[in-house]
Structures are given as C-alpha cells and as structure tokens.
Amino acid sequence: MQKEQDREAIYRSIFFCDMDRKKADEIINRLDGRTVNYDKGEIIIREREKLNNIGILLDGVLCKVQYYRDGTEQLVQKLVSSFVVGVEIAVSEKKTSPYDVYASEQAHIFWFPVRAMEEEGVLDLRERIEFYKKAVHFLANEDIRKYRKIELLSIRGIRERIEQYLRIQQSRHKSNAFDIEFNREQMANYLGINRSVLSHELKKMEKEGILKVRKNHFELADKE
C-alpha cells in the first residue's frame, strides 16, 4: 500500500496528471509497480546500463549527469518530485542509458515495467496509446530543453552565458524575481564553468546593479 503523498506524486506525473483519480488508481494497481528507496549519493542508473522500467520520482532529488574521461561531471538535468525517470531509455530500441543518474538526497521512485506499454495484457489498447502519447509529449519537451542547453553552452562569454540562463529563468517564471533549482555548484556545473568563476562573476554583476542574489534566489534589474 502506497502512502498518500506517494500517490499524489504519481497523480502529478505526466502519465496521470490529466486522468480521473479513480481511473488512475485502477491503472496504477494493474501496473504492478514497486517503490524503491535510494540513499543520498546512490547510483540509480549507470551509463551503458540496460533499463526496462520507467520510474516516477515520489520524493527527493536526482541528478542526471555525464562524466568526461578526466572525471569531470557535467550536470545534464536535476529531477524533482513527480518527474519521470528513464522514459527515453526504456522506450528506445536498445534500452541503453547514455548517462548516469544518482540521488543527490534520499529519494523514492515508483518503477513499472515498460512492457506494460509495449505489450498487450496489462493495459488495453486505448490506455497504451494514451501512455505513448504522454511519452511523446515528454520526449518532445526534453528535446526542446536539450536544444536550449546546447544553445546556452555555445555562448562563449561567461557573463553572456550567465545572463542568458537567468533571462530564460525570468521568462519561465514570468517575473524578475525567481528561485532557480540549482545550488551554486550545480549551477556552475550546468553552465559548464568553474564554480569560483561563477561566484566571482555574480558578485561583479551584483556590484554593477545588474542583479541581486541570495543563495538560489535572483532578482534581475529591468533593462533600460
């Protein structure tokens, strides 16, 4: 039996967010999934590992990362409650992960077999089509997100890259004041720059009146 807050996290996920609760409960029970607990720092998915399940993050925070030969970690994405895990791997032909995922704090994930979508038996045809539609929408959004990151990393100037990232967050939150999902180290990692360089540049930008910053809260000055 799942806890109420776990069910709420599943209801908010892309597969169930538009579904009637009674119908959602029926499908969740049929999926015969399992909840797995992960400790802080524990590897959940390894690069080149096969994955035949799709996860829904119930609570905690996950980091999707890639490692370079010199051991440098590049943060690809930070995942929070209700986010789906491993969809693009599990529905691919080879089902092989191109990245690592680890728990940056204690986390719980509800896993269900991808064969529930791929094969007859667990879901009826209409339900399987609906799940595939949701997966396509998710993958399309992920593709757009990756394009934006590539565009961001292609900016050579450190300040210009920071400003562009913050303007994207401003647009996303529809406000000059907003919280970002990263701490300073994660933000530097995501932007592909040294943490000390990022901190130094933010202090300079604050001194110049471009922004105000306190931990992960930013406030951008209006452009003249």
Alpha-carbon distance 49 to 86, whole Å? 11
The ranges of the chain with pLDDT < 70 are 1-2, 224
In angstroms, the CA 156 to CA 61 distance is 30
pLDDT at 2: 64
- Which pTM was predicted? 0.86
Q: What is the per-residue pLDDT for 71?
A: 78
pLDDT at 120: 93
Per-residue burial over 190-222, b = 16 or more CB atoms within 10 Å of its CB, e = otherwise: bbebeeeebeebbeebbeeebbebeeeebebee
- Coil, strand or helix at 111: strand
Q: How far is the CA of 67 from the CAs of 70, 72, 76, 126, in angstroms?
A: 8, 6, 10, 40
Q: Give the tens place of pLDDT for each residue, 129-165.
A: 999 999 999 999 999 988 988 999 999 999 999 999 9
Please give the pLDDT value at position 222. 82
